[in-house]
Structure 1
């Protein structure tokens, strides 16, 4: 027989420890403040050791509480991920894919209709992440072009999908400015892109101020608004290039690494992942890498 604490009390403890507030935990669990407090007292009595202590008008974890929370958080994370996979399996064949919001909105989602026509029984679940938080979050596959922040083991597991080609783009009017008057539009979390551009081209096309944004689609919108020169993978701006709203007078450069699919560590990929990966390769290869300016 397992010697477990009252699970409802453990759930209340985890919510209070994570949110730092009995009130916020009660709101999250749809319980009253008094009910959460009773759960904490029950857990205290059951364990025989205090897990929280008063800190002004709030609570803080004791040493014993901190150690217990580390274990509880790990178990809850594993349980949440396992249950998510179970629920996904119950819904039928599917694949959980994580990628940047810009890639999802500007390329992947518009292309998914073709995938579904070829594979009507497979459903793709998307988690959209920022470059700052680019991790799988329980996904089967992570799609990314820059794996420099990952471990050597992760990079060895990565599956190559397609080359990536970055263009320095701006409005036609903005391109007429002198380089010293041009503003560089940078991504806050992949600033190495401009370093790689300049190392490969030997050119500095924007020597004025720098504007930084946390998402690629914001960089694109800034360029469209005439705020400066943005460095963007060409697939993401194909429409704006075709329409002439953005131009690439400074050329385009193939970057190192390319777009990759990174399988989740410690898990076997679902059988239908191969079909999605091959579709990605084919579709990415069919997208023109050099849009007309």
Structure 2
């Protein structure tokens, strides 16, 4: 025999008893009305007695429901107070942001000084993870990623900006005059730089731009997007890149994007397991604004 009923059921009961409404309890706990009703039935079946009776549009506690409320409410209040105490003790703990190396090197770090200036109470710790939504080590407070829905199970996602990709090339690249004269079709004569971490980038851009995917052929490949973009800056060829990762290079004249950028089905996201967290909301808002600053680069 179990010593306690389901804690989820007790939590559903406590919220319903406190709020006087199944619907409001469901809203607070971020579940459906039916999920709360099922949890309440679990408790009632275990006790063999009703805990609630209908009262207008809400519910009213029965005598045994009132007794259970008093005991459960006291226990949950102790849990809340204990958790708040632990949180106060960890107020100075760093905010851990998981992020793929390419995003970290080419977008986060160049903006780190400004982020710290704009959010002075944020103690940021950067955790490089090639797949920050599936960390192999300790779970970060939030993960910055470019991803497509459906979002990973269990993560609360702040959508920051749509992803746009396009070809970029250094002004020093010997073939640039020919490419500019020939337009996008001239890319069929170029050995394109590419990355194994994003094999569909070139085909997706070509299709969106009305080019034949079969006309593309590839030159040097790289295992990481960061290396690919460094090769493009060095004048080694034409690369395909997300607009936000090359906007600083374009502004500084290190790269040009002759044919613009095309929107993909992916988005920049900030994902977390923590809901209703003002710190994460502030970081998400800051990142959303920063990503949209140079949105003019993303036309195509």
Q: How many residues align?
A: 202
Given the alignment, which residue of 181, 198, 204 partners 1:196? 204
Change (3 A) 1:87 1:129: farther
Given the alignment, which residue of 225, 232, 242 partners 1:233? 242
Q: Rg bigger for which structure?
A: 2
Q: Is the 8 A contact 1:186 1:213 kept in 2?
A: yes
88-97 or 163-172: bigger deviation = 88-97
Q: Is the 8 A contact 1:174 1:226 kept in 2?
A: no
Name the residue aligned to 1:68.
none
Change (3 A) 1:110 1:269: farther
TM-score by structure 1 length? 0.59
SS of alignment partner, residue 159 of structure 2: strand
Query: C-alpha separation between the residues in 2 aligned to 1:218 and 1:185?
Result: 10
1:241 offset after TM fit, Å? 1.6
CA RMSD of aligned residues (A): 3.1
Query: C-alpha separation between the residues in 1 aligned to 2:89 and 2:206?
Result: 47
Structure 1: give runs of 5+ residues left out of the alignment. 1-85
- Pairwise mapping of residues 210-289 of structure 1 onto structure 2 (< 5 A)? 210-264=219-273, 268=275, 270-289=277-296
Query: C-alpha separation between the residues in 1 aligned to 2:91 and 2:167?
Result: 43
Query: C-alpha separation between the residues in 1 aligned to 2:298 and 2:264?
Result: 17
Query: C-alpha separation between the residues in 2 aligned to 1:108 and 1:210?
Result: 29
SS of alignment partner, residue 147 of structure 2: coil
Change (3 A) 1:109 1:245: closer
1:186 offset after TM fit, Å? 1.7
Name the residue aligned to 1:101.
101
Note the alpha carbon deviations across 1:238-264, whole angstroms, 9 max, x for none.
232233332222321122232111214
Q: Is the 8 A contact 1:171 1:223 kept in 2?
A: yes
Given the alignment, which residue of 174, 184, 187 partners 2:192? 184
Query: C-alpha separation between the residues in 1 aligned to 2:119 and 2:264?
Result: 31
Name the residue aligned to 1:16.
none
- Pairwise mapping of residues 70-219 of structure 1 onto structure 2 (< 5 A)? 90=90, 92-130=92-130, 135-136=134-135, 137=137, 138-147=139-148, 153=153, 157-172=156-171, 173-175=174-176, 176=178, 178-203=186-211, 207-219=216-228
1:193 offset after TM fit, Å? 1.8
Q: Is the 8 A contact 1:135 1:142 kept in 2?
A: no
SS of alignment partner, residue 170 of structure 2: coil
TM-score by structure 2 length? 0.58
SS of alignment partner, residue 110 of structure 1: helix
Note the alpha carbon deviations across 1:257-288, whole angstroms, 9 max, x for none.
32111214xx5575411111111112222234
SS of alignment partner, residue 96 of structure 2: strand
1:169 offset after TM fit, Å? 0.9
Q: Is the 8 A contact 2:95 2:124 kept in 1?
A: yes
Note the alpha carbon deviations across 1:69-98, whole angstroms, 9 max, x for none.
xxxxxxxxxxxxxxxxx9996471532111
Structure 2: give runs of 5+ residues left out of the alignment. 1-85, 180-185
1:103 offset after TM fit, Å? 1.6
